[in-house]
């Protein structure tokens, strides 16, 4: 018996030794110039572990950044986890991770808990309808105005596709879809449509970005919304087969102008990058830290804001404009 207890105890000790120390963020005394790293020469002046958790919307981008940064700084290891913006925020506040990925705006309650944040990329939410939609042609010609989205998604005044295009003879009911899981995309969409939070959106809640896309593809009367990187086939630049992105009639002239049409990825990218696409639903993706970042974490965030920007587009995110980049960098100082 005693022998068994001893074995067990020693086993426990050994395993606890084998487990890596949690978030060993050894602050590097001298944050190296990160720019020279892009020359391709491995730079070993930085070392340590950076732990990141948070929004699923930023997760794929963060893995790319972590991978590239690790190539230039082989001594820097990463621990990247998803879990949602709220988890990232909670982990950051608790000091469990160095960086939290937040795909929504930072709330005052969170800033009050010593949260510091910078925007690192732009993203946008676009409306989607099925390519089988009975009034698809009229919608493509006329666009849908913000006011109409408000009446569909928030007030519920508009319930048929005929009302959307101004043709009362069409009585097909609109099947409204929204995200059931709390998501930055839904919050942005709600703000665009005139609501305040995700809970203001009407519609059937489906779970997750792929599901809402899939549901709209299958339902000719459906309307939904999706992130830039999920509604376009990133390699070909076309929309995902089965969906149409309705033009947003920004100037309310009752017709879809060239800048309001988002038929291919590049159209949408340009509209978001040069600001013609309204914000919201365009949004910033943010990184949060507990207090101002320093040392290794600071070096990594600075790298994301400079050299890291070049990887955004291929992953389906929109890089910051030079002014926004400068603004974020200034905030870090």
Partner 1 sequence: MSQLNQISASQLIKKTAGRLIRPAIVARVRQDRFARRTFFVITLLPVFLILTVTIALLVRSWPILNTYPLHDLLFGDIWKPTNGQFGFWPFILGTFWVSAVGIVLAVPPCLLVSIYLAEYAHARTRSIAKPVLDLLAAIPPVVYGVWGLLAIVPFVDKVLAPSSDRWLGSPQWAVPVSIFAVNQPTGFGILAAGIVLAVMIAPLIISVMYEIFSTVPNDLRHASLAVGATQWQTIHNIVLPQVAPGILAAIVLGASRALGETIAVLMVVGNIPQVPTSIFDSAYPLPALIANNYGEMMSIPLYDAALLSAALVLLVVILIFNILSMLVIQRMLRRKWAS
Are 176 and 132 a contacting pair, CB within 8 Å? no
Are 190 and 127 a contacting pair, CB within 8 Å? no
- Can you tell me the distance from the alpha carbon of 311 to that of 221, in angstroms, rounded to the nearest whole number? 37
Strand 76-83 and strand 243-244: pairing?
Answer: unpaired
For partner 1, which residue of 67, 199, 251, 257 counts as binding (CB under 8 A)? Answer: 199
Sign of CA dihedral 280, 194, 182, 261: negative
For partner 1, which residue of 63, 175, 311, 315 counts as binding (CB under 8 A)? Answer: 175
For partner 1, which residue of 38, 43, 86, 306 counts as binding (CB under 8 A)? Answer: 86
Site string for partner 1, 250-289 (x = CB under 8 A): ----------------------------------------
For residue 261, what are the CA distances in angstroms to 165, 221, 271, 296? 16, 21, 9, 43
Please, which of residues 99-128 interact with partner 1 by CB under 8 A? Answer: 107, 109-110
Question: Which lies closer to partner 1 via its Cβ, residue 88 or residue 143?
Answer: 88
Minimum CB distance to partner 1, residue 95 (Å): 13
Question: Which lies closer to partner 1 via its Cβ, residue 143 or residue 224?
Answer: 224
Question: Which lies closer to partner 1 via its Cβ, residue 218 or residue 292?
Answer: 218
Q: Interface with partner 1 includes 309 (CB under 8 A)? A: no
* Residue whose entry in the numeric block shows the structure tokens 């593809």: 217
User: How many residues of this chain interact with partner 1, rule: CB under 8 A?
Assistant: 33
For partner 1, which residue of 31, 143, 162, 203 counts as binding (CB under 8 A)? Answer: 203
Pick from 296, 236, 275: nearest CA to 99: 296
Tokens representing residue 115 in the block: 């949260």
Sign of CA dihedral 252, 256, 258, 260: positive
Give me the DSSP letters along 130-168: ETT-TTHHHHHHH-B-HHHHHHHHTS----BHHHHHT-T
For partner 1, which residue of 32, 64, 93, 170 counts as binding (CB under 8 A)? Answer: 93
Minimum CB distance to partner 1, residue 241 (Å): 18
The binding site for partner 1 (CB under 8 A) comprises: 1, 83-87, 89-90, 93, 107, 109-110, 173, 175, 177, 180-183, 196-197, 199-200, 203-207, 211, 214, 218-219, 222
């Amino acid at each position: 018996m005693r022998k068994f207890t001893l074995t067990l105890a020693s086993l426990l000790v050994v395993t606890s030794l084998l487990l890596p120390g949690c978030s060993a963020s050894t602050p590097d005394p001298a944050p190296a110039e990160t720019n020279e790293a892009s020359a391709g020469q491995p730079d070993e002046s930085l070392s340590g572990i950076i732990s990141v958790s948070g929004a699923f919307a930023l997760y794929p981008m963060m893995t790319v950044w972590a991978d590239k940064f690790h190539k230039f700084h082989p001594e820097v290891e990463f621990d990247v986890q998803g879990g949602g913006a709220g988890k990232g925020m909670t982990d950051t506040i608790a000091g469990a991770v160095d960086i939290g990925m937040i795909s929504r705006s930072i709330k005052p309650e969170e800033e009050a808990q010593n949260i510091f944040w910078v925007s690192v990329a732009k993203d946008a939410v676009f409306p989607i309808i099925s390519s089988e939609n009975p009034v698809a042609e009229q919608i493509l010609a006329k666009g849908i105005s913000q006011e109409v989205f408000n009446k569909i998604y928030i007030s519920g005044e508009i319930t048929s596709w005929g009302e959307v295009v101004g043709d009362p003879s069409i009585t097909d009911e609109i099947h409204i879809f929204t995200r059931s899981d709390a998501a930055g995309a839904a919050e942005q969409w709600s703000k665009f449509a005139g609501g305040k939070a995700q809970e203001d959106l009407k519609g059937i809640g489906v779970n997750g970005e792929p599901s809402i896309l899939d549901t709209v593809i299958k339902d000719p009367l459906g309307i939904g919304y999706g992130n830039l990187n999920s509604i376009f086939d990133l390699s070909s630049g076309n929309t995902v087969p089965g969906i149409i992105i309705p033009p947003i009639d920004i100037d309310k002239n009752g017709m879809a102008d060239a800048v309001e049409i988002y038929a291919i990825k590049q159209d949408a990218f340009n509209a978001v990058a040069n600001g013609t696409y309204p914000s919201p639903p365009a949004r910033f993706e943010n990184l949060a830290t507990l207090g101002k970042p320093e040392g290794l974490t600071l070096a990594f965030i600075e790298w994301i804001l400079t050299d890291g920007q070049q990887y955004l587009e291929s992953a389906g995110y929109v890089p910051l404009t030079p002014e926004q980049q400068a603004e974020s960098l200034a905030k870090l100082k």
